[in-house]
Structure 1
Amino acid sequence: MTSIPTIRPATPDDAAPLAGLVAGLMADEGKTNAGPTAGQLAQWLSGETPMIEVLLAERDGAALGYLAFYRAFSLFRPGPVMLVENVYVVPETRGSGIGKRLLVAAAQTALNRGWGRLELNVADGNPGADAAYRALGLSAPGESVRRVEDAGLATLAARR
């Protein structure tokens, strides 16, 4: 019988396996840019106010997935909210409830901190994730994400 995975906050010591999980997500999404290094992740997870927080799913010492989030703020809510940056589960364990356990743990964290909302984006080409999130009660507010990054960000910043 397979043991139930544990969900726990990641520490800087988890940076190497986390880097591998992030690389897996990037490969799944067809991203070709370099992902974060273990050193970068360790730095971002460090300190009194880390730049990003991560919930790590593991079983028998093996990392099976993660949910990365940070505190954001909404004037419309109003107040602090949890913005989920990534949710990833290794392919061979998908469908086993790990993603759900990560989201439940994230919701508990948000409530414990007095954050009134958990928000995440779902890629248009991922109907399975969209259906899973809807089944957990996450709604689609009818908004689409717009993004500018890298060279486009520099071009926008240089406009007059």
Structure 2
Amino acid sequence: MIRTATVHDVPEIHAMIRELAAYEKAATQARATEEQLREALFGAHPAASVLISEDDADGRIAGFALWFPRFSTWTGTRGMYLEDLFVRPHTRGAGHGKALLAALAAICRENGFERFEWVVLDWNEPAIGFYRSLGAEFLDDWTVCRLSGAPLADLAAHAPAVARRTP
């Protein structure tokens, strides 16, 4: 069963984020707290949404997908960015990942989103094979760029004043 997450799911979402980070060999980088997730997902201005997959056999949470809208200047339309997709190892192969992605694709269609995008680590062959089986297009000529920590702070220190205009 696929359902939208509730605030009561935050501890499980937090646990799965940590499980995903460990799988991706980046456990120390997963620093988000349950409180941060609660605010980001269910606060006054939610930053993202989560779908939960429950195991039909026991009703326990098998996986999750965390996503947020994005905008394409080229198409002039909104799209969806999938930040995290995780299915617990003991439930893999039962269709949870495909069901979560299908539910997200349906949300895209319902909202007129023309693009559904995510990234995958180049060494994660099982995920790459799974995404290929769904018809995902791999954009090999694009490279993800990221600023964080000291480089982000250094660049921000050179920012000019930004005028705020009211309509």
Q: TM-score, normalised by structure 1?
A: 0.89
Aligned with 1:35: secondary structure?
Answer: coil
Q: 1:56 aligns with which of 41, 52, 55?
A: 52
* Equivalence for 2:145: 146
Unmatched tracts of structure 1, length 5 or more: 1-5
2:148 and 2:19 map into 1 onto residues whose CA distance is 22
The question of 1:126 aligning with 2:117 is answered no
* Equivalence for 1:36: 32
Q: 1:80 aligns with which of 78, 81, 90?
A: 78
1:47 and 1:39 map into 2 onto residues whose CA distance is 10
Unmatched tracts of structure 2, length 5 or more: 160-167
The question of 1:9 aligning with 2:8 is answered no
2:17 and 2:120 map into 1 onto residues whose CA distance is 16
Question: Is the contact between residue 14 and residue 42 of structure 1 (CA under 8 Å) also seen in structure 2?
Answer: no
1:89 and 1:14 map into 2 onto residues whose CA distance is 15
1:22 and 1:138 map into 2 onto residues whose CA distance is 23
The question of 1:46 aligning with 2:42 is answered yes
Question: Is the contact between residue 26 and residue 35 of structure 1 (CA under 8 Å) also seen in structure 2?
Answer: no
- Greater relative contact order: 1 or 2 (C-alpha under 8 angstroms, separation 6 or more)? 1
1:25 and 1:124 map into 2 onto residues whose CA distance is 15
- Shift in Å, 1:47: 4.6
- Shift in Å, 1:140: 0.8
Aligned with 2:42: secondary structure?
Answer: coil
Question: Is the contact between residue 13 and residue 42 of structure 1 (CA under 8 Å) also seen in structure 2?
Answer: no
Q: How many residues align?
A: 155
Q: Which amino acid aligns with 1:90?
A: R
What percentage of aligned pairs have identical amino acids? Answer: 37
1:114 and 1:47 map into 2 onto residues whose CA distance is 25
Q: 1:20 aligns with which of 15, 18, 21?
A: 15
Aligned with 1:45: secondary structure?
Answer: helix
Of 142-151 and 50-59, deviating more is 142-151
Question: Is the contact between residue 11 and residue 42 of structure 1 (CA under 8 Å) also seen in structure 2?
Answer: no
Q: Which amino acid aligns with 2:6?
A: T
Question: Is the contact between residue 16 and residue 63 of structure 2 (CA under 8 Å) also seen in structure 1?
Answer: yes
- Shift in Å, 1:128: 1.3
The question of 1:90 aligning with 2:88 is answered yes
- Shift in Å, 1:78: 2.2
2:126 and 2:151 map into 1 onto residues whose CA distance is 31
Of 83-92 and 31-40, deviating more is 31-40
Higher-Rg structure is 2
